[in-house]
């Protein structure tokens, strides 16, 4: 499984793209759709989430992020922009090692042009542009220092990603999507002081693609003392979902969560049995387990055990057998 589609909504707003010049040979229907969206958004920039692309159309001429950004702040009233998506900042075979440092640096340098910014997605690249394991990130905490009123930060890509312990008063949502989550990123996040944080989402991925986060690294989180306002937790895209369930079943943290997301992982009937037997899971309002490896019997047992929980059990995966051994894979790795 890969991420094939760009977001059409972010931070509760419809997305409009602002990127490189539209090619002359673009089909009329696509050109009209692009121009209509831009014409609608420009007079009311705060009503849209803006996606900035270094090159708007795949396989088109390369346009640097700095050039696109300069056009954006010149043409759009950025003082009204509340949500930004940073998409493709590199393209072409020679550019796969280009990191997010340029867009991060540009945003930090011009933070005063975005006084209303509340939501930021760094690295919204889809499979056509780059596999998630190819995305080259950097230290993203300067964004938090530059935007003290930011409420949502979402980051995609784990290569080169850094998140040293930081403090931020306003951040309510933090999500890190990777095919392999470095352990130092996990420990940096959990060592951070984020008093307003309500939703934390971590995509662990596979050790083959850079995941060095150990389950013991999550122990401080499970003890329930971190992030006093945390009510929604996503521990997603992991190859050890049954083990995560075992740790959560008796964790103090679970008693104060409303929403738990263990989707894109490898939950089996063994994990489902733990969920069915642990009373704390029944207090959840929502439990997302989509993309799992449950049998029909395992699904039925969960539904019977959690009748009052909004339960998502869609997308059953099929284990693979190699040399007589059964293997379970997280959904998004390469």
- 54 pLDDT band, cuts 50/70/90, is confident
Beta bridge partners of 233: 200, 260
- 301 found inside a domain: no
* pLDDT tens-digit map of 150-178: 999 999 999 999 999 999 999 999 999 99
Q: Is the pLDDT of residue 26 over 60?
A: no
255 burial level (CB within 10 Å; 0-12, 13-18, 19+): exposed
Residues across the chain:
334
Note whether 176 and 153 are within 8 A (CB): no
Tabulate helix, strand, coil % of the chain (nearest 5): 35, 20, 45
- Which has more confidence, 282 or 26? 282
* Distance of alpha carbon 137 from alpha carbon 104, whole angstroms: 10
Q: How far is CA 20 from the centre of its chain?
A: 25
Is the model more confident about 325 or about 196?
196
40 within a domain of the structure (yes/no): yes
The overall pTM is greater than 0.85: yes
Residue scoring higher pLDDT (61 or 87): 87
Which of 149, 154, 64 is closest to 114 using CA atoms? 149
In a domain, 222, yes or no: yes
> 275: closest CA among 294, 252, 302?
302
pLDDT in tens, 291-333: 999 999 999 999 999 999 999 999 998 888 777 777 889 999 8
pLDDT score at 41: 72
pLDDT-based confidence at 211, cuts 50/70/90? very high
Taking alpha carbons only, the member of 128, 123, 227 closest to residue 177 is 123
Q: Which domain holds residue 141?
A: 9-237
Q: E strand or H helix at 188, and its extent? A: helix 183-190
- Averaged confidence pLDDT in the chain: 90
* Residue 217 counted as domain residue: yes
In a domain, 233, yes or no: yes
Q: Is residue 88 part of a domain?
A: yes
SS3 271: helix
Percent of the chain with pLDDT over 70: 88
Band (pLDDT 50/70/90 cuts) for residue 27 is low
Span 277-286, mean pLDDT? 96
**Residue 273 included in any domain:** no
Instruction: Express each pLDDT in 237-260 by its tens digit.
Output: 999 999 999 999 999 999 999 999
pLDDT-derived band at 43 (thresholds 50, 70, 90) equals confident
The C-alpha angle 68, 151, 332, rounded to 5 degrees, equals 70
Domain count across the chain: 1
* pLDDT tens, residue by residue, 257-275: 999 999 999 999 999 999 9
Whether 4 is covered by a domain: the verdict is no
Q: Is the pLDDT of residue 98 over 90?
A: no
pLDDT score for 91: 47
What CATH number corresponds to the domain at position 212? Answer: 3.80.10.10
DSSP label of 6: -
């Amino acid at each position: 499984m890969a991420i094939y589609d760009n977001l059409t909504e972010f931070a509760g707003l419809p997305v409009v793209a602002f990127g490189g010049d539209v090619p002359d040979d673009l089909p009329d229907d696509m050109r009209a759709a692009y121009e209509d969206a831009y014409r609608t958004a420009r007079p009311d920039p705060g009503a849209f989430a803006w996606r900035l692309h270094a090159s708007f159309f795949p396989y088109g001429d390369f346009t640097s992020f700095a050039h696109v950004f300069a056009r954006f702040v010149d043409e759009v009233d950025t003082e009204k922009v509340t949500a930004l998506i940073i998409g493709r900042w590199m393209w072409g075979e020679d550019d796969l090692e280009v990191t997010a440092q340029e867009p991060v640096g540009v945003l930090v340098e011009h933070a005063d042009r975005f006084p209303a910014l509340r939501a930021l997605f760094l690295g919204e690249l889809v499979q056509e542009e780059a596999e998630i394991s190819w995305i080259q990130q950097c230290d993203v905490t300067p964004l938090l220092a530059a935007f003290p009123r930011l409420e949502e930060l979402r980051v995609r890509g784990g290569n080169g990603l850094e998140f040293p312990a930081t403090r931020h008063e306003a951040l309510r949502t933090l999500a890190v999507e990777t095919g392999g989550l470095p352990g130092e990123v996990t420990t940096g996040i959990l060592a951070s002081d984020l008093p307003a944080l309500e939703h934390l989402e971590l995509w662990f991925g596979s050790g083959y693609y850079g995941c060095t986060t150990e389950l013991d690294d999550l122990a401080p989180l499970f003890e329930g003392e971190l992030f006093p306002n945390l009510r929604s937790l996503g521990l997603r895209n992991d190859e050890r979902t049954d083990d995560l369930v075992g740790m959560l079943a008796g964790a103090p943290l679970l008693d104060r969560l409303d929403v738990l997301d263990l989707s894109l992982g490898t939950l089996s009937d063994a994990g489902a049995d733990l969920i069915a037997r642990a009373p704390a899971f029944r207090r959840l309002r929502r439990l997302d387990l989509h993309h799992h490896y449950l049998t029909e019997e395992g699904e039925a047992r969960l539904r019977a055990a959690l009748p009052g929980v909004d339960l998502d059990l869609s997308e059953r995966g099929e284990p693979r057998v190699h040399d007589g051994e059964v293997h379970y894979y997280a959904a998004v790795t390469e």
